[in-house]
Amino acid sequence: MKLDTYDRIELTGPWAGFGFQARHMWTPEGFTLYPEQMRWWSLTCNMAREYQLLLEQERLGRRSAESDADPQSVVRMVQALHRQRRG
- Across residues 35-46, what is the average pLDDT? 86
Going by pLDDT thresholds of 50, 70 and 90, the confidence category of residue 72 is low
Stated as kind and residue range, the H or E segment containing 80 is helix 77-86
- Across residues 53-59, what is the average pLDDT? 84
**Is beta strand 9-10 parallel, antiparallel or unpaired with respect to 19-21?**
antiparallel
- Across residues 50-63, what is the average pLDDT? 80
> What digits encode the pLDDT tens for the residues 5-38?
678 889 999 999 999 988 899 999 999 998 888 8
